[in-house]
Structure 1
C-alpha cells in the first residue's frame, strides 16, 4: 500500500533481514534521507572489509549511507541534521537513546521478528524455535527507552514450515514484515495510526552463544530438533565426537525407525540416524572437526567403527 504522502525517513539496519524493508519503503515512494548501518566488517578467510547487506542495498538504490558502530553523539548530530519525520529501525544492532529517540517528529518505529511481548531481545526467532513455539510472527512498534517495550502498531502471525530453521524462518518473516512495515508507515503518514500497549508477560531473547548450539541426545527428539532449528545457521548446531566439536549442518525428523540409545548412530537410506531420549533423528549433512562439510552418509561410510555422538 503506497503512502498518501511520502514521509522523510531515516532507515537504520544492517543484516540481510533488513534489506526487504529498505527496498519496500523505497518502492513505496518515501524520501529516505539516509541509511544508517554498522561499519564495514572483515569477512571470509582473507578478512576482506565488506559493506553490510543494508549498505550494499542502499548503494544500489542511490541512498546516502551513514556508517556508525553505535548511535553516539556524532551519529545523533548527523541524523538530526537531516530533519527526518520518522525513523525506522530493522535489526540495526545498536540501541537508540535520547535525544536521538525523540528527534524525529513521529519518533522511531521498529520491525521486530516476534509476537510481542514474547521474545524481546536480539534473537527472537531463535528463542521461539528452541522453545517450540507453535506460532512465530512480526510486530511493528514504537521505540521507547525500555527494550522492545513500546506500543504496537501491527502484529501478525506468519505461517512457516514446521521444519524451518532460524535462517529460513527469518527470510520469510523479513518479507512479510516489510509489507507490514510499509502499511504502518502509510497510516502514520495519513495521520490515523493507532498503537496499543503490549499485553502479557514478556520473555527475554538475548543473543545466542556458541554453547547454545550444543545438542543433548538424552533429551526427547522434539526438543533436540527444536534446538537444531533455533541455532541454525548461527551459532550452529553441534555435538562432540571423540572429544572434538562435530557440526550438524542439516537434520530432519526420521519418522519410524529402530530404537537407538542416545547418541548412537546407524546407517539410513537418506543419511545417518542418531538416537535421542525418544525416537531417532536423521542427519543429512555434517562437518567433522578439521574437515569440510559433507553428506552425513559419506561421513558414516568412511568410519572404521560405529560412532557415538556426544562422547
Structure 2
C-alpha cells in the first residue's frame, strides 16, 4: 500500500505530540482526522485556548474532532466515518477498546520511555528523578492495560549528568516523531514484528513506574542524600518544579521553587536545611552528604531569577533554613 492510501487518524494534545503530527503531514502521509482535547479557558482573562495539536491541525486544514467523552455515541459514529486504517496516539488520553480496536491495522502509541520501564503519566520526570543514565521512546500497540501492549520499535538516548526534563523532553519529542514515521513505514511494508513486553523482563517487581506527579511529589526532602535531591530538582525542571519552604525567625514560612542547582559533595555535615550564603553571589542548602547550590529560584510574587539577581534585592536572615 502507498502511504497516500493509508488513512491515518492522529490523537494528541500538547507540544510533544505536534512534532509527530508535523512529520506525518510534511512527509505527505494521509492524515484524515485529528482528535484532541476540547478547548478550555486559560489565563487571567479565561480566554478559550486551543491545544497545541489543534492549533497545528487548523493551520494545516485537517479535520478536527474534540470529544468531551470518548465513549460518546456521536463521537464514535463520527470517527467511523473517517474510515481510518491506522490510529496513532501521542500524549493523549486512555482510549476505550471500541476506539483503539476500530482500525484494521490497530492503534499504536508513542511513549517517552524504554518500555516496559516507566509505564505511566510522567516517564521523563521519573527517569531523571531516579538518576537514570539513559531513556528513550517506544511505539507499541494499544491494548486493555495502559502502556502494556506489544512493542513495535524503540530508540535510546543518553541522559547527561546535568540534563533536566526540558532538555530530554525536547530530544525525545524530535526523536519520537521520527520513530512514529519509522513505525508507520514498517506497517506499510508489513515488516512489523511486535514483541510482547513480558519478553523484556523476568520479574514485574523489577519494573519502575512513572505515576502522575502531584504537588506533594515535588516537595524537596532535605534529609535525603545530595545526589537524590539534585536529581529531584532537575527531574522536575522546568515543570512542574521542585519546591521547599523557607523559614525565617518571626515570619510565616514561604514557598520557594528551585529551577536549577548544582550538587556539592562534602564530608562535613551542617544541619539539614541550613543556609550558607554571602547574600551576594551564592546560596547553599545543607543536606545529607553535602549541599545543594541553588542556581535559579523563585520566591512568592517574584519571577524565577538567577541567584545573584535575587540577592540584589533579597537578603536571607541569619538563622533562616529550608524545610
Structure 2 matches for 1:23-38, cutoff 5 A? 23-38=22-37
Q: Deviations over 1:90-128 (max 9, x none)?
A: 001x21112222110111000000111111111111111
Q: Deviations over 1:35-70 (max 9, x none)?
A: 111112222222221101111111122211111234
Structure 2 matches for 1:97-136, cutoff 5 A? 97-136=96-135
Partner of 1:276: 287
- Unmatched 5+ residue regions in structure 2? 248-252
Partner of 2:302: 291
SS at match of 1:39: coil
Partner of 1:5: 3
TM-score by length of 1: 0.92
Structure 2 matches for 1:71-220, cutoff 5 A? 71-73=70-72, 74-92=74-92, 94-198=93-197, 199-200=200-201, 201=204, 202-220=207-225
Partner of 2:231: 226
TM-score by length of 2: 0.88
Say whether the 8 Å CA contact 1:80–1:100 is kept in structure 2: no
SS at match of 1:158: strand
- Corresponding pairs, count: 308
Say whether the 8 Å CA contact 2:10–2:21 is kept in structure 1: yes
Distance in 2, matches of 1:138 and 1:206, equals 17
Residue 143 of structure 1 deviates from its aligned partner by 0.6
Say whether the 8 Å CA contact 2:97–2:143 is kept in structure 1: no
SS at match of 1:275: strand
SS at match of 2:59: helix
Say whether the 8 Å CA contact 2:133–2:159 is kept in structure 1: no
Residue 155 of structure 1 deviates from its aligned partner by 1.1
Q: Deviations over 1:150-209 (max 9, x none)?
A: 000111211233222222211110100110110010010111211111122343322100
SS at match of 2:260: strand
